[in-house]
A and B are shown apart, each in its own frame.
Chain A
Amino acid sequence: MAYETVVGLEVHVELATKTKLFCSCRTDFGDEPNTNTCPICLAYPGTLPVLNEAAVALALKAALALNCEITRETKFDRKHYFYPDLPKAYQVSQFDRPLGRNGYVDIEVDGEKKRIRIERLHLEEDAGKLIHTPGGTLVDFNRGGVPLIEIVTAPDIRSGKEAAAFLTELRAILAYAGVSDVRMEEGSLRCDANVSVRPVGETRFGTKTEIKNMNSIGSVERAIEYEAARQMEVLAQGGTIVQETRRYDEARRVTVGMRAKETSADYRYFPDPDLVAFTIPEAWIEEIRESLPELPDARRKRYVEEFGLSSYDARVLTQEKAVGDFFEAAVAHGGDVKAIANWMMVEVLGYLNKEQKSIDAVPMTPAHLSRLVRLIEDGTISGRIAKEIFPEVIATGADPEALVREKGLVQIQDAALLEAVVKRVLEANPKSVADYLAGKEKALGHLVGQVMKETKGKANPGLANALLKKALEARRGAGGA
């Protein structure tokens, strides 16, 4: 029997506010444990929450960037459960009036476009973090009270690849909107997946499992693929799926059962009496909507229409806002757009990937990239020389033009100078000359290569080619006479 995979994602994203959701403690990642805490976020008796308006603004921005409808009459609710990382023993969250509803993200997988619906987006506070040591379990409350948005998708995802595409796009949108630094490795973006399978054609959902502990987009993709295959195997063997929470083990690349969910937890939600219900002014929503920058999808369309790039190239260049910004700045400094795009995708991204750096962290400026491309265009240097000096340009921020002069790499454009080299090469390679004259045109390539070698790459390849041809044809004429 053929099965299809059905996936819904729950994504938690830490908002990029300076302070926590209900107190003025800082939200910085990686500080000494329990230094960013106060009586409010430690739930001392008598403390009261004061809502951080900046967090509401960022959550609204995220909701609008994800095409959600805004719930203007909204409120906070308490979600109760006992755990040492939750000092009040309730999490302030939103139950039946989430800030955003009915949004979507469009993705593209293997050339196919697809819309993934977002059911809800709500604002809540993060819990602290447990640190297990041989001596016992410790709690770090620095993260406790940091503002989070929880984004819940409809069960529209059909594969690990689609989930990865969704997360990649979601990450890009949220980064573009500036609502979060979306770093999965630091936990500022976390994802759980509800996975089930069902026979193709079936409209009811199968029993789902919830997969946790996926620390990268790649591991979300692998975990879903593994889990779907596992469930299909269980069903093929005549077994049934147990509704449970499973942990993804990245090292072994398997999911492992954690606890069975016999009954759903009763969180006893009720409206938080310390935080009065409030109405979001229409004008505020409009102000935030207008403050949204161009989002990845719009930028991609513009790259295709305005710059004539392929949709693939447009996608690569817009994945990260900073990369797109760099590209556009370089284009603004002049040079062939497609050439700049190619340099960005091959050399720049290749370097960043190899060095594990972000584009903001390299000394090279967009002006440098533009100049490098223009040096090739005006014949000052060859593409080969450009590639040779590129690592130095990107790593040190050296001006390509100065570098070319300093190293004496300016292309030989003077025919008189090159003619001497051509003569020497023809004399030193009688076999190639004979081959060419015998009709083996390919021999010309070897001879050009020799000219380049003699000139240490500085010969203008076009000029060298023309001069060689001319000299060879002259010989053919002489020989025939």
Chain B
Amino acid sequence: MAAYGDLLEERIPDLRRRLETGELAPEALLEAALERIAAVEDRIESFIALDPDAARRRAAALSEKRRRGEALGALYGIPAAVKDNIAVAGLPMTAGSRMLEGFLPPDDAVVTERLLAADAVIVGKANLDEFAMGGSTETSAYRTTKNPWHPDRVPGGSSGGSAAAVAAREVWYAIGTDSGGSIRQPASFTGIVGFKPTYGRIPRTGVVAFASSFDTVGVLARTVEEAAIVYDALHGFHPSDTTSLPRDREPVAPTLGRDVRGLKVAVPTFWLVGLHPDVRARTEEALRVLEGLGAIVEPVDMPHLAYAEAAYTILTMGEAASNLARFDGLRYGRRFSDARDLAALYAETRARGFGREVKRRVLLGTYFLSAGRYEDMYVRAQKVRTLIRRDFERVFADYDLVAGPTVPTPAFPLSERLSDPVAMYQSDRLTSPANLAGLPAVSVPAGFSAEGLPIGLQLVGDVAEDALVLQAAYAYQAATEHHRRRPAL
């Protein structure tokens, strides 16, 4: 249906207005999404679980709500995807793992509650790397999501399903998690906006933990404005997560469009080396665009960024080994063993329930925390984390933002790095520092490689400067057209 095709290219603020007046019904918008999903999903495989019937009931209920004359939420009637490591009551939650096959979470995650409170329509659960461990969504136990721009390329990860669903116009936005780049890297690979707020801005309650002090819930959307609207509906303290932060002083979306003239942007020299030539070129162009907007762009030296990847690896694997210890098949999820012996019961269930990458990280993480290694590895990595935080603090004493590419390369071919974990971890090299320091960061489309693959620009702000990050990204996007190009599907 041609009308549906037009809807897919409309932006959330316009749709929201039409839905509010009744000119467009939530049911009709949902059908547009479901039709698009039906058309492209077997090629893209963004979703682990779809529940069209539940989504239809929800859309009908929202229609009813409007008829009753009730106030309508900021995301009223807009179809969304939720990464499958985030609990949505009524839908299974697998975290991409066999270990949780068939697991029904008892409650909504806080972020889900807030989505629903904003009148969103959740169409399904997006694919991801198993337990969010990976940079290609290939470690999912269920399916391999493809990059909508190229059928042989990865969509990035771990929020690859969320990114692909948005890029393929299956939904208007998606919720992801980012512990080392898992929102920004797939956003960069699929030509959309990926926003990782300050650590704690969106509560983690109901999100399957990978590395607790890194895990950050965030938003994937086609434009900065849409990401800001969704972020506004989701962020703020919740008593169930004592690491969560209060709301921003004011909603961010209405502040977009603020002038970026005079903004000081630091570009770490380390972030401009070892890049794919097209990434380097697009980054330089993007920085010139920022200068053209009146920003002052200068190179800076951040001496500890070179150690970010090692520190990130040790700390996240240590936390992951601890967080995943609870998956023993005894209380929930699958038990892959009939053993009468306790040790065998644990060993068989964990050996068969977890995939290769998860087992690799659990084993390494256990090693990093073990007696004799802990001081050398974990404690030292914590010190590096502190040094990286200080590098940022020093820069933010003089600058407003740190900028650079999101990923050193465009999307790589499927299966290329699956057997080369070190190369895979490399794709987090530029994104993990923001997680080590807990900073807000966004990836925004900055053009394409010679092969036509999207490339992202990354902007990182100081702690709690989420609004500034989005304002600058908005200004950049307003001055560029990259986000208007769509994949040929």
Q: Do A and B bind each other?
A: yes
Tell me, in angstroms, the Cα distance from A46 to B210 when the chains sit together: 10
Q: Which of B59-67, B189-197, B327-335, B480-488 contacts A (4 or more CB under 8 A)?
A: B327-335
- Least Cβ–Cβ distance between A129 and chain B, in angstroms: 15
- Are B209's CB and A270's CB within 8 A? no
Partner of B106 from A44, A51, A80, A275 at Cβ < 8 Å: A44
Tell me, in angstroms, the Cα distance from A87 to B325 when the chains sit together: 9
- Per CB-CB distance, the 8 closest pairs between chain A and chain B, nearest first, are A89-B325, A273-B213, A273-B212, A268-B369, A46-B206, A45-B208, A43-B326, A266-B371
- Are B105's CB and A268's CB within 8 A? no
What 1/0 flags go to A26-67 for Cβ under 8 Å of B?
000000000000010011111111110000000000000000
What 1/0 flags go to B212-229 for Cβ under 8 Å of A?
110000000000000000
Whether A368 sits at the interface, judged by CB under 8 Å, is no
- Are B100's CB and A45's CB within 8 A? yes
Q: A43-B326, A48-B240, A89-B325 given. 12 additional CB < 8 A pairs?
A: A45-B100, A45-B105, A45-B327, A46-B87, A46-B205, A51-B242, A80-B325, A84-B330, A88-B325, A89-B326, A273-B212, A274-B212
- Are A78's CB and B322's CB within 8 A? yes
What 1/0 flags go to A242-284 for Cβ under 8 Å of B?
0000000000000000000000001010100111100000000
- Are B106's CB and A48's CB within 8 A? no
Set of chain A residues within 8 Å of B204, measured between Cβ atoms = 46, 48
Of all chain B residues, the one with the shortest Cβ separation from A82 is B346
Whether A90 sits at the interface, judged by CB under 8 Å, is yes
Contacts known (A78-B322, A80-B322); A276 close to B243, Cβ less than 8 A: yes
Tell me, in angstroms, the Cα distance from A46 to B332 when the chains sit together: 13
- Are A88's CB and B326's CB within 8 A? yes
- Are A90's CB and B325's CB within 8 A? yes
- Are B241's CB and A48's CB within 8 A? yes
| A and B contact pairs by CB, cutoff 8 A, 22 listed | A44-B106, A45-B87, A45-B103, A46-B105, A46-B109, A46-B204, A49-B242, A50-B239, A80-B369, A82-B325, A89-B326, A89-B328, A90-B322, A266-B371, A268-B366, A268-B371, A270-B318, A270-B322, A270-B374, A273-B211, A273-B243, A276-B243
Tell me, in angstroms, the Cα distance from A49 to B204 when the chains sit together: 11
- Are B319's CB and A44's CB within 8 A? no
Partner of B331 from A78, A80, A87 at Cβ < 8 Å: A87
Tell me, in angstroms, the Cα distance from A39 to B204 when the chains sit together: 15
- Least Cβ–Cβ distance between A273 and chain B, in angstroms: 4
Set of chain A residues within 8 Å of B100, measured between Cβ atoms = 45
Whether B437 sits at the interface, judged by CB under 8 Å, is no
- Least Cβ–Cβ distance between B161 and chain A, in angstroms: 18
Set of chain B residues within 8 Å of A87, measured between Cβ atoms = 326, 331
Partner of A45 from B93, B242, B374 at Cβ < 8 Å: B93
- Are A46's CB and B208's CB within 8 A? yes
Set of chain B residues within 8 Å of A270, measured between Cβ atoms = 318, 322, 369, 374, 378
Residue from B206, B243, B325, B370 having most chain A Cβ neighbours under 10 A: B325
- Least Cβ–Cβ distance between B385 and chain A, in angstroms: 12
- Least Cβ–Cβ distance between A280 and chain B, in angstroms: 16
Set of chain A residues within 8 Å of B209, measured between Cβ atoms = 45-46, 274
Set of chain A residues within 8 Å of B240, measured between Cβ atoms = 48, 50
- Least Cβ–Cβ distance between B366 and chain A, in angstroms: 7
Whether B95 sits at the interface, judged by CB under 8 Å, is yes
B 341-380 contacts with A by CB, 8 A:
342, 346, 366, 369-371, 374, 378
Whether B107 sits at the interface, judged by CB under 8 Å, is yes
What 1/0 flags go to B84-100 for Cβ under 8 Å of A?
00110000010100001
Set of chain B residues within 8 Å of A46, measured between Cβ atoms = 86-87, 93, 105, 109, 204-209
Tell me, in angstroms, the Cα distance from A262 to B319 when the chains sit together: 28
Set of chain B residues within 8 Å of A84, measured between Cβ atoms = 328, 330, 342
- Least Cβ–Cβ distance between A416 and chain B, in angstroms: 82
Tell me, in angstroms, the Cα distance from A84 to B325 when the chains sit together: 12
Partner of A82 from B212, B239, B328, B374 at Cβ < 8 Å: B328
Set of chain A residues within 8 Å of B95, measured between Cβ atoms = 45
Set of chain B residues within 8 Å of A275, measured between Cβ atoms = 242
- Least Cβ–Cβ distance between A217 and chain B, in angstroms: 33
- Least Cβ–Cβ distance between B217 and chain A, in angstroms: 11
Tell me, in angstroms, the Cα distance from A82 to B346 when the chains sit together: 8
Tell me, in angstroms, the Cα distance from A89 to B328 when the chains sit together: 9
Contacts known (A46-B209, A88-B325, A89-B325); A39 close to B106, Cβ less than 8 A: yes
Set of chain A residues within 8 Å of B328, measured between Cβ atoms = 82, 84, 89
Set of chain B residues within 8 Å of A90, measured between Cβ atoms = 322, 325
Of all chain A residues, the one with the shortest Cβ separation from B331 is A42
- Least Cβ–Cβ distance between A443 and chain B, in angstroms: 81
Tell me, in angstroms, the Cα distance from A89 to B241 when the chains sit together: 21
Tell me, in angstroms, the Cα distance from A270 to B240 when the chains sit together: 22
Tell me, in angstroms, the Cα distance from A264 to B205 when the chains sit together: 35
Set of chain A residues within 8 Å of B325, measured between Cβ atoms = 80, 82, 88-90
- Are B369's CB and A39's CB within 8 A? no
Partner of A44 from B105, B241, B366, B378 at Cβ < 8 Å: B105
- Least Cβ–Cβ distance between B138 and chain A, in angstroms: 22
Residue from A48, A80, A84, A90 having most chain B Cβ neighbours under 10 A: A48
Of all chain A residues, the one with the shortest Cβ separation from B100 is A45
Of all chain A residues, the one with the shortest Cβ separation from B108 is A46
Set of chain B residues within 8 Å of A42, measured between Cβ atoms = 331-332
- Least Cβ–Cβ distance between A77 and chain B, in angstroms: 10
- Are B208's CB and A273's CB within 8 A? no
Of all chain A residues, the one with the shortest Cβ separation from B241 is A48
Of all chain B residues, the one with the shortest Cβ separation from A88 is B326
